Amino acid sequence: MLVLGIETSCDETGLALYDSEQGLLGEALYSQIELHAEYGGVVPELASRDHVRKLLPLLQQLLTDSKVKLSAVDAIAYTRGPGLVGALLVGSATAQALALALQRPSIGIHHMEGHLLAPLLEDPAPQMPFVALLVSGGHTMLVQVQGLGHYQLLGETQDDAAGEAFDKTAKLLGLNYPGGPELARLASSGVAGRFSFPRPMTNRPGLDFSFSGLKTHTRLLWQRHQDATMDAAAKLQLQADIAAGFQLAVVDTLTIKCRRAMQQTQLQQLVVSGGVAANQALRSKLQQVGSKHGFKVSFPRLAYCTDNGAMIAYAGCLRLTQSHLQAAAPAMRTIDARPRWPLQELEP
């Protein structure tokens, strides 16, 4: 079965073709980073308009590059939510129009299920059951995955998501959007131990997270240690040291909770996905702790940590070939989007 995947939940227009026999046949991605950079964050209306502009040309490019005819597509998977409603509607409407024109089934995919399954695109693929740490711009959760659609939420953030904390902290340090990767780059030249940072919610039981306090802690440090006599080099070093301390605090906190989740579930496989899974400090710390405590840790390649069409095509293909969930029949089609959609509502 050849599935076309369409991702438009936020600021990336992603498309991919995934075949159940041959694997990934091609992909195309357009990032709106430059468009939103001057505003310091994603502007929802601009995001929607850009998806409208880019989606069909990207589809054309994908088909040409992968030498696939549109008529060869057997089904269309699109991100139904969660995400920005206008952005989601562009993907949903396009998917439904294509499905109607081609007389093919369509299926709405949960964006976080896409992230959760992305590590399975790698070879060798991690085997279920596993624990998934999902760390993106909008979500931070630990999920016990018994099988496709069998997701039990073990813990989640009570306030900011990990990626959101990276982005907000980067912004208050004066870094450019998108803040997460910028902050990580700066942190590599900083001394993490210069300032002490808390590891929120680690000294009490449970698997929930809280990152908003870390952001406030960073703001106070940044305000307190700057002074008018500081030269540019000293200011840059201060900024890097704070970034390194912040990053280490997030990485340690996530690692402590992952280890706890592995102990609690007695599972041997951890998968980590979502934009923050691209963070090198997090990747190496989790690998280190995994090998020390006897669990395997798998990540998607960097391009599949952040938003992409491949994970949506893949999730659609698995859902259509393995689950009992029916794709939308032509008569039942609606252009729908679920900006808020708890992962636990998904069915096997």
Told to check if 180 binds ligand KG4 by CB under 6 A, we report yes
Residue 275: which residues within 8 A CB-CB, separation 6 or more? 135, 136, 137, 163, 180, 305, 306, 307
Closest approach of ligand KG4 to the CB of residue 1, in Å = 26
Contacting ligand KG4 within 66-105 (CB under 6 A): none
Q: Which is nearer to ligand KG4, 73 or 170 (CB)?
A: 170
Of 96, 136, 239, 255, the one binding Zn ion (CB under 5 A) is: 136
* Count of helices and strands (H, E) across the chain: 11, 10
273: contact with Zn ion by CB under 5 A: no
Candidates 14, 86, 155, 275: give the one binding ligand KG4 (CB under 6 A). Answer: 275
Instruction: Check the CA dihedral 148-150-155-157 and report its sign.
Output: positive
Smallest CA-to-CA distance from 70 within 60, 56, 57, 85 is with 60
* Range list of β-strands (E), 58-158: 75-81, 106-110, 130-135, 140-147, 150-156
How many angstroms separate the CA atoms of 118 and 302, rounded?
Answer: 11
CB of 97 to ligand KG4, least distance (A): 25
13, two tokens? 């227009």
Q: Least CB distance from residue 116 to ligand KG4, whole Å?
A: 11
Per-residue burial over 172-196, b = 16 or more CB atoms within 10 Å of its CB, e = otherwise: ebebebbbbbbbbebbeebebeebe
Contact with ligand KG4 (CB under 6 A) among 278, 310, 317, 337: 278
Distance between CA atoms of residues 186 and 34, nearest Å: 20
**Binding positions for ligand KG4, 139-158, rule CB under 6 A:** none
Enumerate residues 209-228 that contact ligand KG4 by CB under 6 A: none
Q: Which helix (H) or strand (E) holds 85?
A: helix 85-102
Q: State which of residues 254, 307, 320, 337 lies at the interface with ligand KG4 (CB under 6 A).
A: 307
Q: Give the nearest distance from C-beta 340 to ligand KG4 in angstroms.
A: 14
User: Is position 10 an interface residue for ligand KG4 (rule: CB under 6 A)?
Assistant: yes
At residue 21, the 3 state secondary structure works out as coil
- Binding of residue 184 to ligand KG4 (CB under 6 A): yes
- Taking CB under 6 A as the rule, does residue 300 contact ligand KG4? no
Does residue 175 belong to the site contacting ligand KG4 (CB under 6 A)? no
Smallest gap from residue 298 Cβ to ligand KG4 (A): 17
Q: Which CB, 180 or 245, lies closer to Zn ion?
A: 180
d(CA 271, CA 134): 8
In angstroms, what is the minimal distance from the CB of 227 to Zn ion?
39
Cβ pair 27, 310 in contact under 8 A: yes
Cβ distance to Zn ion smaller for residue 136 or 279:
136
Binding footprint of Zn ion on the chain (CB under 5 A): 136, 307
